[in-house]
Each structure stands twice: as structure tokens, then as C-alpha cells.
Amino acid sequence: MLKRLFATSALLIFVQGFVFAQTATLEKVRNYRMKHEARIINDYKKLLEIPNVASDIPNITKNARYLISEFEKRGAKMEMLTLPGKPEVPPIVFGEIKVPNATRTLIIYVHYDGQPADPKNWTHNPWEPTLYSTSMAEGGKPIDFPKNGESVHPEWRIYGRSASDDKVPFPALLTALDALQESNIALTSNIKFFFEGEEEAGSDYVGEYLKAYKNKLDGDLWVFLDGPKHQSGRPQVVFGVRGVTGMEITVYGPQRPLHSGHYGGWAPVPGQILADLLASMKKPSGEILIKDFNAETAPITSADKKAFATLPDYDAEIRSELGLLNSEFDNRALIESYMYPTLTIKGLSSGNTGPLARNVIPTQAVASIGMRLAKGNDPQKMQDKVEAHIRAQGFHIVREDPDIDTRRKYAKIAKVTRSSGYPAVRTPIDNKWAQQIVQAIDQVTEDEVILYPTFGGSLPLFHFEQIMQKPIIIVPIANHDNNQHAPDENIRIGNIWYGIDIYTSILTMD
Amino acid sequence: MLKRLFATSALLIFVQGFVFAQTATLEKVRNYRMKHEARIINDYKKLLEIPNVASDIPNITKNARYLISEFEKRGAKMEMLTLPGKPEVPPIVFGEIKVPNATRTLIIYVHYDGQPADPKNWTHNPWEPTLYSTSMAEGGKPIDFPKNGESVHPEWRIYGRSASDDKVPFPALLTALDALQESNIALTSNIKFFFEGEEEAGSDYVGEYLKAYKNKLDGDLWVFLDGPKHQSGRPQVVFGVRGVTGMEITVYGPQRPLHSGHYGGWAPVPGQILADLLASMKKPSGEILIKDFNAETAPITSADKKAFATLPDYDAEIRSELGLLNSEFDNRALIESYMYPTLTIKGLSSGNTGPLARNVIPTQAVASIGMRLAKGNDPQKMQDKVEAHIRAQGFHIVREDPDIDTRRKYAKIAKVTRSSGYPAVRTPIDNKWAQQIVQAIDQVTEDEVILYPTFGGSLPLFHFEQIMQKPIIIVPIANHDNNQHAPDENIRIGNIWYGIDIYTSILTMD
């Protein structure tokens, strides 16, 4: 999940570090952890050894059983949820810890499946976790896993599939539960676990699960434990993701390619028609000229503006790294741009360019348009607005390539092929449940928590918002350079320790 | 030569036919021809049997020797011109017939080389000419070549490489000379022959030949015997061809492809920048918005307008066939559009469209621009005007992909890669030498001669105009459905007879 939702910049290297605020609970949990570090990472090794591609149902089920067993040991009531008649769908691992007198229920989301991995492209087998003295990129060397009781260095890395994405919350959660139990510290919220097994396969059935088990899954806040931390290493909480959709627009010239000599200056040129249409939709400056494009977009609140201010401002460096004098909207802040829907030409094609260019007038020109959606934008409604604009430019809209009679009838024809898509999800920065999480994290970290109102990228979290009607929040712990989705995925040990600290604080917050 | 310079329309089928005006000379020549039809096509078969790809110097030279021998038999003084130190360049076959008291010299151009041909794609070997009862397309069957004295049907076709393009003027010229000699009819012009052997290879050395032999090649009018007649079958004279050039324009976004979520609504989108630039250059209606684009274009004269009126008007049918409601410039006549330069988007590319489209902001967008040039347009000057327009839109123009520092310095960068090119050639319709040819053809044909002020396509005839400083005219005789440049090239016998008639009239005109 969370494929590098925030881009990293090669120019920007920050020291990963934080200093713990001294609370009594944290001190106990850290003491527990320090006594058990080698055992914790050896246990994690066992989980990483179980292959976890969503389509591999026997191994996926093995992962699920392992998790059930481990969480049951910590007193959770665990259950494997399935969809009747669909044995090919990975199960949901559901669990519950009921806390007497707790008035709040947190639903903790993790996904235990991982991206498929081709061992040929990995330094070691993806499901044979290997310990390194530091990252390979920094010259790390393979070392033996420590024996229980031996010391562990926080800069060590475990290489293996899902080491970061997204099995790493498990050792952190299990250790936090162990440490609290040993210290006789009670949890302060009812906890539900929702561990998904098909996130990397597209979460095709998560909506069905949510509908089927809606009552069981009720709670106050969904806490997504997934994704990498901000590249600065600072603690981070993310309140949303953009939605996504798109469309492909094809415009037409003559029915067959024409010799540009015989017909040049006479036959309509589809590339020209397309250029004119696209230029009417958006200015190169970024301004979108489609009527009411932003009408339903949730306004930026003063809480959002305060959140913007928690972010390090790297925009100028990113521009420089990308070779850009300016970014759109007069250098509007990147984080602010995430609050708006986009209209991006992802692709253009007509005839040929380069050595293959021929002296012809092509028959058509195609633009692939991507749209990211902000909170409030309905995918279909946004597509409707673009189509209304195309119509207003004099186009007849079709869904299939037009036949000869249609071509003869309309001067301008556009075939619009809509992509599927889904809306954004964004929890208000000042949502009371979410703010409790922020404060819990803030309490155990020295650096200011980065409040990310929304990622620019998209995840299908709308199922959770639409079906469960509850707020969501994303709490990442992995190192940003974890090679997520790529060969040699890894987790930095110090980031597991960070996870233990903040999960502890969340599990015991007021 | 003359690759289908006028497009054929599958919808438009016309009877090829004409009735000879009865002049005494023509009657004698027709009588001669009718007595020798079988021998004429058997002789032509021999010429077609000699392979004639420009790079095949031994066979090309065999063609040249054959032509020298045949024209010498008719009393021409023949010579093989070569370029010193360049034995790899096909020779020019030069010839001369001096006529006492003649005050006019016609230089007759034919090219004896042909397009390369892959026998695999032909019904018969390209250099084993085969006679058919009518065209293959109309169900013709192979028949034996007739014995001398046997009758010949004008609908027969000879299939073979260069049967139409461009050996067919030879049997017609040789027969006309034979018939006039037998009838004791004198030529009325000094005649020079310029038979090129590398036209289909690009005429790379024709300029060098013209410069090297300029004095020898002096005359009043270059008569190009090449190309297919108008699809209506009516006699036709062509006064020019358009020039051609072009450019490729690349505009830039971020230096590496960016995730459209992380950077959408922030990073400049090259497809949008390109669409805006292209839309600023031309309207879909055809109107070109580049300053002074038409400033040097030769104006349309009243003689041109009279010539337009000689053309059958098929524009509405062509639009219907091509599935177009309108053509550019409010349905301006196709022939009139040839009098102007064009600016045509031949190709567009950026990122991907269709199934390969990805959620990225591409690094660049490219447009391949084709330009056809009208009389008066200098290729470089026209490119300069386009570049001035690009600059006026705020672009910094580069010749190579910009480096990172250049990218950081300019908001909008366009790499412009100019194509080579050459200017148009167009002889004024009322040129006195050209008009003499028109009248000579008109005298022996019943249908009104089509006066084509210029083809829309391009040929490098500028060498002849620029170096020789003499007018040119194109007189085609081949059937329009001759499969020129394609497999199964053919000539309809009746078109050879037509050639004999009009060449006779030209050779004996007042």
C-alpha cells in the first residue's frame, strides 16, 4: 500500500532521528523492548519467511493463521473472516480487545499481503529475510541475526518482501502489547484489528467485506498503519488521499491517412483539433478553464493552513532538482495543490513523431487525461463537467469510433472513454478522534508532528469512509528509503522501535 | 517520379477516352502506329526487361545504352553524361535533334530508373513484362504478346516495373519520331533529351549534373514526361509542384517522469504546454496565425483562376468519401489550397495513450510539423517565421535537449529540429512556352485540357528552375490506376497511343 505516496528527493537528505519525551509508560515500554530486541526481530523474521502474495491462498492463509495465533497470545479475540463461496479471496484477519469502561473504539488496519517479487531481481530471496549492518545503498553488509539477548543496532536493516509494506506494524504492535501487559498498564480504547490480505492485488473485495461485516467493524476511527514516514524522518500523520479518475479523448480527421501534399491545407488535421480542445481546457499556468471544475471541492480551512505550516517547505529544492523554473499556479505550495482536483495530459498520440514521422495527415489524435480528485469531487460528476466543456467547444460526443455517416454529419467529433475511479477521502484536521492520535504521537516524539492534510496520490480508502461512515487517519512508520514495491525492500530497525513507541502512546492515550 | 501526385478516389470512376481532332499530321501518325502496334509493344517489352534500379549500375548502364542506340536510330545525336570520379552515379542520357531554322528548344525530361521491387510481392517478376487482357483489378487475364502485325487492344495492360513510371514516354517518343520520319514531316523545335537514371533514388546528383552541363542543357522549356493523368482520363498539363519542409518541436516538463498524484496540479505538464503552443499557431478552421506566413506567397492570378475552372470539382465527393463534413477554410477548393503553404501536425507524442497510459506527468511532448510550400516561399524563411512565433509565445529555443541549468533558467523551452526541404516550382499558367504545349495537346484531343497550376505534392524540380532558370511543365500520359511505386505496376496500351498523339503534336507545333 501507499506506493511512495510522498516522493523522495535525491537532493534532500535528512538525519532520521527523534528524542523521546519522557513519560512513565514510554519508559517502561522502552525498557521492555531493549531487553527483547533480538527476540523481537527474530520473531519478525519468522513472519517475513511466509510468502504473502495475495493470489497464493495457501501461504496467505498461513500468514493469517500466524497472526491469529500471535495476537491470541496477547489476549485478543481473533477470527478469520471470509466471503461465502469465494475461497479465492484472501481472508480478513479480524480481532478485538475489549477494554472495560473504554468509550472509544479504534479500528487498526494493516495489510499482511505484499507485492509479488521476482527473486531474479533481488539480492537475496524475497522471503528469506536477511539482516544488514546498514542499508545496501550506504554500503551495508549482511550480518547474522543476533541470538536472543544480544544487542541490536537501530541502523540495521532487514531485507525481505513486506519488511516495510506492510508487515512492520505487526512486530511493533505485538511488542507494544507485550510491554504493556508486563508493565500492567491497561489499554484506554477498545481495539479492533482489520488485517487485509489483498491490498497489493487491488483490494477488490474489501468493500464486500466491509458490507458483510459492517456491524462487527463499527468503531470511532480507522487507523491505517501503513506507508513510509516523511523523508525528513519527522513523525507524520496523514489525513487523507486524493481520489482518481480519467478519460481518453479521441478526435477525428479524415477516415484514412492522407498525403500531406495532396490534402494539406484542405483536410482537417486531428492534431490541431485536439490541441485547440486541450488548450481550451487548461492554461499552461495550471488554471483550469472548465466550468465549475472546483465547485464542490472542499474549501481549505484555517486548520488546514495550520497543518501546511507543519510541513518542511522543499518546493524550491524540488523545482531545482526537476529542472523547473516555476511550478503551476505561480509556485503554489505542493501541499496546497493536493487540496484541488487536477487535469493532467498523461499522454498524447497522433501519427508519428521522430524518425517514423511521415508526410501524412493522421486520421485521429488521442489525449489521455488523468484527474486527481480532491475532497468533495465525485468522479462521474467531474467527468461530466469535462464532457460538458467538450460539447461547449462544438464537439459531438461518441462512445465508439464514429461510423462514416456520423463522420459526415458532425464537423467535430470526440470519443470520450471514461476511466473508472473513486473519490478522495479526507478527515478534517480538527476531527476530535484524529487529534487524539496526533497528540498521542506528539507526546512521545520531540520533533513537531507533520500533519499531512492529504497525500497527492490515491488509495481506495473511500470504501472505508463510504461504507463505514467513519473518519480515517494514516500513521506511517517505515523508513522512506524502504524500496517499497521494488526489489530489496527493507525496514530500518529503528523504525520498528519508533512504531512501538507511538503505538504504545496511541494504545494508552487519554 | 510523381508518386500519385494527385490522389485517386475509389468512389470516382470515369471512362478513359478521348476523340482525336482530325489534323493531317495526326492522321498520318495514327495510320503509322496502327500498322505497327504489335511491334511497338514488343519493342517496349525489351526495354522493360532490363532491370532499372538506380543502384544497379551495370543494368542502369544497359538501359542507358539501349536508349542511346534507339534514339540514334531516329537520328538524334546521343551522349552518355557522367560525373567525373563518381562511377556510382547513374549516367544521364543526353541527346539532341537540331532542326534547321527552329527558334525554340524543348528539353524533354524522362527518367529511366524505377522503384526497387520485391518479386515476392508481385504476381509476375517485375522485369518479366506480362500482357493482360485488361487490368487485374477488372478481372484481366494474362495473354501472349501479339506477333508483329497482329491486332492490339487499347485496354490491354503491360505489367512490369516502370511500365508507367517512367519508361512509357520512350515507346511513345520513338514511335512519334518514326512516324514523322516515314511521313516526311519535319520537327518544329530543336529537341534536347535529358533522361535521368536516379530519380527514384532521390535525384541526389541532378543538381550537380545541371551545373556541370549547364551550357549543353540550355533551352526554352523543360517538358517533364512523367506521372499519371487525371483520374477523369482527360488530358492534363501540370505547371508546378509544392515545395516541402518541416520541423519537430519538443517542449519540456520535469526532468524525470513524475507521479501524477504526487505532483499533479503542481508540476508543469508538457502536453499542455504543447497544446497551447500549437493552438496559438493555427486554428482548426485552417487559418494560420503565424505572422507573415503568407507574405511571400505568389498571388493567385486571373490565369490561375481560369485554370481552376478547367478542373472537375470533386471536392464534395472527396469530403463524403473521407467522412468529412467540412474541409479547411470553409470548404475552399482543393486546387486553390495548393496555392498556399501549409502547417500540418503530422504527429504528436507525449507519455502514452491507450492501455499503456500511466499515471505520470511526462517529461516532454513532441509535435512533428509538416510544411508544404507554395511558389515564393523559401524553406528556411518559413521555418524562421514559425520559430519567431514560438519565441513570441515566450519560449527559449534550443537545438539539443536542454541541460539542467537551461531547464532551471527558462519557464518554457522548445527544441526545434528543422527538416531539410526545398522550394516549390510553378510556371505561370500564361507562360508563352507552356501555352504552346497546352495548345498542341488541345489540338489533338477532344476533352478540354485540365490545367493544373500546381500539384499539392512535392518534387525536387527546383534544381531545374534554380540552376537552369527556365520554365518547366509536366505532361503525364500514364493511366491513373497504374500501381506506381507498388507491386504490379502497369501501363494501359491506349495511354501509349495517347502519348504518341500528343508528343507528335508537341514535336510539330507551330
Report pLDDT digits (tens) over B152-174: 999 999 999 999 999 999 999 99
Q: Is the pLDDT of residue B12 over 70?
A: no
- pLDDT tens profile B53-83: 999 999 999 999 999 999 999 999 999 999 9
> Which chain B residues have a beta carbon less than 8 Å from that of A242?
261
Is the CB of residue A366 less than 8 Å away from at least one CB of chain B? Answer: yes
Count of C-beta atoms within a 10 Å radius of residue B211: 12
> Which chain A residues have a beta carbon less than 8 Å from that of B257?
none
Are domains A24-239+427-507 and A242-298+339-418 of this chain identical in fold? no
Question: Domain map of chain A by residue range?
Answer: 24-239+427-507, 242-298+339-418
| Size of chain B, expressed as the number of residues it contains | 510
Mean pLDDT score, B470-497: 95
Q: What is the DSSP code string of A489-509? A: -EEEHHHHHHHHHHHHHHHT-
CATH topology of domain A242-298+339-418: Alpha-Beta Plaits (3.30.70)
- CA atoms of B490 and B484, how far apart (whole Å): 8
Question: Could you tell me the CA-to-CA distances from B350 to A237, B91, B345 in Å, in that order?
Answer: 36, 46, 14
Q: Nearest CA to B371 among A256, A274, A257, A357? A: A357
Asked if B6 and B230 count as a contact pair (C-beta separation under 8 A), the reply is yes
Say which residue the cell 461530466 belongs to.
Answer: A384
pLDDT of residue A6: 41
Q: What percent of chain A has pLDDT over 90?
A: 90
- For B331: left if phi > 0, alpha if psi spans -120 to 50, otherwise beta; the answer is left
Residues forming beta bridges with residue A396, ordered by sequence position: A413
Asked if B490 and B482 count as a contact pair (C-beta separation under 8 A), the reply is yes
> What architecture does CATH give domain B24-239+427-507?
3-Layer(aba) Sandwich (3.40)
| Nearest CA-CA distance, residue B383 and chain A, Å | 17
Under an 8 A CB cutoff, do A259 and B4 touch? yes
pLDDT of residue B9: 36
pLDDT of residue B485: 84
- CA atoms of A504 and A186, how far apart (whole Å): 11
- pLDDT tens profile B87-117: 999 999 999 999 999 999 999 999 999 999 9
- pLDDT tens profile B238-258: 999 999 999 999 999 999 999
- CA atoms of A67 and A44, how far apart (whole Å): 11
Q: What percent of chain B has pLDDT over 70?
A: 96
Angle, CA A295 vertex, CA A290 and CA A299 arms, to 5°: 130
Under an 8 A CB cutoff, do A326 and B269 touch? no
Is the CB of residue B11 less than 8 Å away from at least one CB of chain A? Answer: no
- Contact pairs from chain A to chain B, CB under 8 Å: 330
Angle, CA A232 vertex, CA A228 and CA A235 arms, to 5°: 60
| Nearest CA-CA distance, residue A347 and chain B, Å | 4
- pLDDT tens profile A344-359: 999 999 999 998 888 8
Under an 8 A CB cutoff, do B325 and A255 touch? no
Half-sphere exposure of A461 (CA within 13 A, CB side): 31
Question: Could you tell me the CA-to-CA distances from B297 to A5, A324, B128 in Å, in that order?
Answer: 56, 40, 47
Q: Nearest CA to B298 among B350, B339, B258, B356? A: B339
pLDDT of residue A13: 33
Mean of the per-residue pLDDT values of chain A:
93
- pLDDT tens profile A177-226: 999 999 999 999 999 999 999 999 889 999 999 999 999 999 999 999 99
Q: Residue B506: phi, psi to the nearest 5?
A: -65, -40
Under an 8 A CB cutoff, do A327 and B267 touch? yes
Tell me the pLDDT band of A9, cut-offs 50, 70 and 90: very low
Mean of the per-residue pLDDT values of chain B:
93
B/e letters for A236-263, b = 16+ CB within 10 Å, e = fewer, are bbbbbbbbbbbbbbbbbbbbebbbbbbb
Instruction: Write the burial class of residue A456 (CB in 10 Å: 0-12 exposed, 13-18 middle, 19+ buried).
Output: buried
Tell me the pLDDT band of A21, cut-offs 50, 70 and 90: very low
Count of C-beta atoms within a 10 Å radius of residue B258: 23
CATH topology of domain B243-298+339-418: Alpha-Beta Plaits (3.30.70)
What is the dihedral sign for C-alpha B115, B120, B122, B124? positive
Mean pLDDT score, B386-399: 98
Nine-digit cell at A37?
530486541
- CA atoms of A250 and A273, how far apart (whole Å): 10
- pLDDT tens profile A467-488: 999 999 999 999 989 998 889 9
Q: Nearest CA to A238 among A395, A94, A429? A: A429
Tell me the pLDDT band of A11, cut-offs 50, 70 and 90: very low
Q: Nearest CA to B313 among B342, B347, B336, B285? A: B336
- CA atoms of A460 and A241, how far apart (whole Å): 9
Option in A5, A275, A324 nearest B278 (CB)? A275
Say which residue the cell 522543499 belongs to.
Answer: A314
- CA atoms of A345 and B225, how far apart (whole Å): 50
- pLDDT tens profile B441-479: 999 998 999 999 999 989 889 999 999 999 999 999 999
Tell me the pLDDT band of B202, cut-offs 50, 70 and 90: confident
- pLDDT tens profile A415-441: 999 999 999 999 999 999 999 999 999
Q: Is the pLDDT of residue A23 over 90?
A: no
pLDDT of residue B450: 96
- CA atoms of A494 and A481, how far apart (whole Å): 13
Under an 8 A CB cutoff, do B354 and A349 touch? yes
Asked if A158 and A493 count as a contact pair (C-beta separation under 8 A), the reply is yes
Question: Could you tell me the CA-to-CA distances from B70 to A140, B46, B178, B269, B407 in Å, in that order?
Answer: 85, 12, 11, 66, 66
pLDDT of residue A3: 41
pTM of the model: 0.88
- pLDDT tens profile A219-277: 999 999 998 998 888 999 999 999 999 999 999 999 999 999 999 999 999 999 999 99
Tell me the pLDDT band of B23, cut-offs 50, 70 and 90: confident
Q: Nearest CA to B275 among B125, B152, B412, B147? A: B412
- CA atoms of A92 and A79, how far apart (whole Å): 8
Mean pLDDT score, A306-312: 94
Under an 8 A CB cutoff, do A276 and B256 touch? no
Is the CB of residue A299 less than 8 Å away from at least one CB of chain B? Answer: no
> Which chain A residues have a beta carbon less than 8 Å from that of B261?
5, 242, 244, 372, 455-458
Q: Is the pLDDT of residue B2 over 60?
A: no
Q: What is the DSSP code string of B466-507? A: HHH---EEE---B-TTS-TTSTT-EEEHHHHHHHHHHHHHHH
> Which chain A residues have a beta carbon less than 8 Å from that of B341?
265
Asked if B508 and B180 count as a contact pair (C-beta separation under 8 A), the reply is yes
- pLDDT tens profile A96-110: 999 999 999 999 999
